[in-house]
Structure 1
């Protein structure tokens, strides 16, 4: 009980500003009542708890850089050249003990899940808060919890499905097959989409597209249904999001550099600023880009990725930075152009990490249509993305499945693991990675190992095949 009480205090502190912390100190909890109960007896403090849960995502290394960084290295999109520190990801030779960064991927995502669980529990059957607010906040927490599980199962496969904060239950939960978690996610999202509003809410300086709305729930549903093979519903929900032209539109070719700006018309869901509300740069930008005083670049896009761009692709110009440092030409991801606050100010750009964006909905629908034998419709969606990039329509003789995978590779390179997840989901990982890394690739490396530390604390956690 002490752990649960302490967590709620931490959630509230994360969601409140400094001036509000004094108000928290002034709360005198009754001797027979936990601080968590006090928090969820007020709409304001309940919203602060939800803001704190969002903050657990925003400030997490897993979400703000490692989903992109580690999965991009695993998929052969980017290399770390500063030292050999990431060789295990760049060669797909990760180990449950030696690859200590696995523990962060695992624990930080579960920490966020715990916080969203706590909000859902605190709001359940809560008559002290207006019903409309309870419904909205609960729906947001459920969507974000499902988003967390999406990444977990695509990195680790079967994982424990935790929907409670009771450590007496969670500490010994076994792994649940990914197929079952997809089913659970779909059910959760189907209900959550009707709990959240069409418009973006405002909550403790988390506003606009940094908070879940109905389209975000539907966009994630479209992705979940695609990954689980329900192509009819994947197409349906992608279509519903695309149809929300009052909120969303693809930016034209000339504005590709602005796709990742705060509140861009293509953004369906973004993360709030990780440092402060005035922060205009992202952790990805500060990680991947060389600074104005750099002599070397620590990260380089691979020749394998660069060779995949077609001549004349505007994304190559807008989203790839060429660096010439100490006489060496290298290339870095340039979707986020700010590497610190000074560059954000000088470039007059406010950038935010992107969780869901409109272009994906076109590619989800293209694949769903292709799987449903609607080749014409699939071509139409592919051509929307290609024309936006300044390219010709997909060739009439093209293999549509390969064309879809190719567009995903270019559109979503170094973006939250999309390439890594896609080649595995589409059954291409062994062929692609075997050719790319013939000396180190093993099929079992499609799933990361369950961190040994997690297995040490939970005897019911089994290990993925191929690992010790």
Structure 2
């Protein structure tokens, strides 16, 4: 898959498959740092690994427009969980997100940057994948004189490339196309789909727009193949101090879980949950406090529940800043940044039992480790005399070098919560309660009896656990074909978005529409 190429960039992509990326220098994150420019073709396994590192670097490169931060900001602000405070919005698209102005082209700031980053990731994956595919079609080894160890490592590296290409398309599908409709044809075309590398100027100027169905099929194929190739424990075949920042079999399985859930294929999603929970029990658990997933720099490792994360070393210049828009802490200051503009909505706080009708903090909140460790309440906002109180996400910038804190992208708690809902929907209240209580117990809360478990109880635990992460709230509602509720928005001006959410997507950046013939 080649990124959508503007006319000004065609020459560059014809000359080089990959370029030395700006910012790869002594201040760059050592995890993603390349020892030399990533060139094509690669001549041995060690050089191929440089090609595999590049997509990870690109994912984490843009402090204001990385895809994982953008989707978290966008979907949280669009959801019923966000309380938008326009007095403090900076240059982000927050007002458009909150107002759900989907008809606008994503022409500025984080949305346009994330769009480009996704295609850069796809390009970075397609080059080495094409080389490996060509060798396989010719009945050859990709490199001469390969040992069995080399072959095993190439399988792992190929799996990572497939994983990252699928991830880039996942972000594109979540942002720039309507959600997959389980009851629809999904034949709309919204952005370029290419699964082979091309250096033909004509092909680059005339890409094909994939249908929603084709894009989701491509994502599923990439992650399914990645899961087959990747190691469960990849530490023996990669040379990284922070192994959880590189994809393994469980990360691919978790992304398949998300894909199947949002498509409404919940039996398949449950099968992936079962695989992760059963086979990963010696690697992942919920024995640590919630904060332990968020308080690490790259060299510090990872929390025990973290299945996959993006890691930043203390010298990195590739740290994310997007979370400062909807999180309490910014950089190394233990304070609110001046542009933080999305706190938790009052309706959500009351729904989950952390705030009463008088906006007072409840005993249930005080007893919940997630509230005390991962959220922060201001009775008076330190930036102004805004009407109190405000409760903010406090998950980010929590490591010793705050601005470079690792970002968990897949956590075990999500797997249990997803399976709990599916089990309850299958009338397995005993199994649903067991899964839900795994998450509740880690938070310091008592069990919910199987006889008392409800869908609302699972929904509320999911909000408490996953609010502001990975665009989870809208994903969770879409996966159940439920309305996207309005939260604290004015009911006279807003209404819930009903399934199949056919207009619920952002337009491809205007700059790409103008210069790419596929959109004409």
Q: Report how far residue 160 of structure 1 moved.
A: 3.1
- CA distance in 1 between counterparts of 2:22 and 2:239 reads 11
Q: Which runs of 5+ in 1 are unaligned?
A: 28-34, 345-349, 463-468
For 1:162, the equivalent position in structure 2 comes to 194
TM score, norm. by length of structure 1: 0.81
Q: Report how far residue 152 of structure 1 moved.
A: 1.9
Q: Report how far residue 188 of structure 1 moved.
A: 2.4
For 1:246, the equivalent position in structure 2 comes to 282
- 1:88–1:441: structure 2 CA closer, same or farther, 3 Å change rule? farther
Q: Does 1:304 align with 2:320?
A: no
1:5-404 equivalence runs, <5 A: 5-10=15-20, 14=24, 24=36, 35-37=39-41, 40-60=42-62, 61-78=65-82, 79=84, 81=86, 82-83=88-89, 86-97=94-105, 100-101=108-109, 102-124=111-133, 125=135, 126-128=142-144, 130-157=150-177, 159-166=191-198, 168-169=202-203, 171-201=205-235, 203=238, 205=240, 207-243=242-278, 244-252=280-288, 255-260=289-294, 261=296, 262-273=301-312, 276=315, 283-284=321-322, 286-287=324-325, 288=327, 289-290=329-330, 291-292=333-334, 298-299=340-341, 300-310=343-353, 311=364, 312-323=367-378, 324-325=381-382, 326=384, 329=388, 330-338=390-398, 341=401, 343=402, 351-394=405-448, 400-404=454-458
- CA distance in 1 between counterparts of 2:489 and 2:231 reads 45
Secondary structure of residue in 1 paired with 2:20: helix
For 1:451, the equivalent position in structure 2 comes to 509
Q: Could you tell me whether the CA contact under 8 Å between 1:77 and 1:305 is conserved in 2?
A: yes
Secondary structure of residue in 2 paired with 1:321: strand
Q: What value does the CA root-mean-square deviation take over the aligned residues?
A: 3.6
Q: Could you tell me whether the CA contact under 8 Å between 1:210 and 1:272 is conserved in 2?
A: yes
Secondary structure of residue in 1 paired with 2:438: helix
Q: Could you tell me whether the CA contact under 8 Å between 1:200 and 1:207 is conserved in 2?
A: no
- CA distance in 2 between counterparts of 1:274 and 1:22 reads 14
Ranked by relative contact order (alpha carbons within 8 Å, sequence separation 6 or more), the top structure is 2
Q: Could you tell me whether the CA contact under 8 Å between 1:274 and 1:282 is conserved in 2?
A: no
TM score, norm. by length of structure 2: 0.74
Equivalent pairs counted in the alignment come to: 442
Secondary structure of residue in 2 paired with 1:446: coil
218-227 or 303-312, which moves further after superposition?
303-312
For 1:30, the equivalent position in structure 2 comes to none
Match for 2:486 among 430, 433, 453? 433
- 1:14–1:44: structure 2 CA closer, same or farther, 3 Å change rule? farther
Secondary structure of residue in 1 paired with 2:372: helix
- 1:169–1:370: structure 2 CA closer, same or farther, 3 Å change rule? farther
Spell out, residue by residue over 1:252-286, the C-alpha distance to the aligned partner (whole angstroms, 9 max, x if none): 4xx2221223411100011121774699x753555
221-230 or 131-140, which moves further after superposition?
221-230
- CA distance in 2 between counterparts of 1:134 and 1:12 reads 27
Q: Report how far residue 250 of structure 1 moved.
A: 1.0
